[in-house]
């Protein structure tokens, strides 16, 4: 099995105070297997994060992105720098969600609908939820959502057949790892991670569940 935080922000995001080195080393101390750094609408600027001198050598660091669209935000994995330069950088500030999803599918990446039903962010008012039905995965356990927002996301995912993930959405060191995703597979590489998101079994769990339960009981 593999335990991962799929949604974190470093100081490459303007609203985070976590340095990349703090982020990966805190993830290692927490006992995580994977930390995904999903800074806001930037990708190539953070080249090299994966190569930090991490104290926990078993930790896999994956660069993704949290991209704001005209219909809410997406976590995107499997990105390549040439795609980012050739497509996203040339797009308007809030690109079409449908166009982004189509492009991600075209390069065999993965898009995840981030923190739906959040009401304190202008990005989430008047969202047309059906526009995200080209996405197969929904974040149903987000560390910055309240219980009502996460419960609504869970119910929506169950109703429409989305797979579900958890992520801390951390912007400060103490928030890292509070919401996680437990994969049934043992994941060693970024390619295996992207493949697992598409085909493996996984569940959103809290850090307390990770530390307090036999993980095999989740499957």
The pair of structure tokens assigned to 28 is 């290692």
Question: Look-up: residue for tokens 């005209």?
Answer: 70
Q: What is the DSSP string of 142-208?
A: ETTS-HHHHHHHHHHHHHHT-EEEEE--BSSGGGTTSEEEEESS---SHHHHHHHHHHS-EEEEEHH
Each of the 219 residues of the chain gets a pLDDT tens digit; together they read 999 999 999 998 888 999 988 998 899 999 999 999 999 887 766 666 766 655 556 899 999 999 888 888 999 999 876 666 665 555 567 778 888 888 888 888 999 999 988 776 655 555 677 777 789 999 999 999 999 999 999 999 999 999 999 999 999 999 999 999 999 999 999 999 999 999 999 999 999 999 988 888 889
Strand 137-142 and strand 163-167: the pairing is parallel
Question: What DSSP string runs through 5-62?
Answer: EEEE--TTSTT----HHHHHHHHHHTT-SEEEE--BT--GGGTTGGGS--SSTTPEEE
Q: Which domain holds residue 181?
A: 2-218
In sequence order, the 6+-apart residues with CB closer than 8 A to the CB of 204 are: 139, 140, 141, 164, 165, 166, 179, 180, 181, 182
Length of the chain as a residue count: 219
Helix (H, G, I), strand (E, B) or coil at 84: helix
Number of domains present in the structure of the chain? 1
- Give the CATH number of the domain where residue 10 resides: 3.20.20.140
């Amino acid at each position: 099995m593999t335990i991962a935080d799929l949604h974190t922000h470093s100081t490459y995001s303007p609203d985070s105070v976590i340095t990349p080195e703090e982020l990966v080393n805190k993830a290692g101390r927490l006992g995580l297997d994977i930390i995904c750094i999903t800074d806001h609408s930037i990708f190539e600027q953070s080249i090299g994060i994966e190569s930090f001198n991490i104290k926990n050598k078993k930790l896999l660091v994956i660069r993704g992105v949290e991209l704001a669209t005209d219909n809410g935000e997406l976590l995107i994995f499997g990105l390549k720098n040439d795609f980012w330069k050739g497509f996203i950088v040339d797009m308007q500030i809030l690109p079409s969600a449908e166009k982004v999803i189509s492009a991600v599918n075209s390069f065999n990446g993965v898009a995840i609908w981030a923190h739906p039903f959040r009401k304190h962010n202008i990005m989430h008012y008047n969202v047309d939820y059906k526009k995200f039905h080209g996405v197969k995965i929904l974040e149903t356990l987000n560390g910055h959502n309240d219980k009502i927002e996460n419960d609504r996301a869970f119910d929506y995912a169950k109703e429409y057949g989305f797979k579900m993930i958890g992520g801390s959405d951390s912007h400060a060191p103490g928030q890292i790892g509070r919401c996680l995703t437990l994969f049934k597979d043992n994941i060693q590489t970024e390619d295996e991670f992207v493949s697992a998101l598409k085909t493996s079994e996984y569940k959103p769990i809290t850090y307390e569940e990770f530390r307090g339960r036999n993980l095999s009981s989740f499957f």
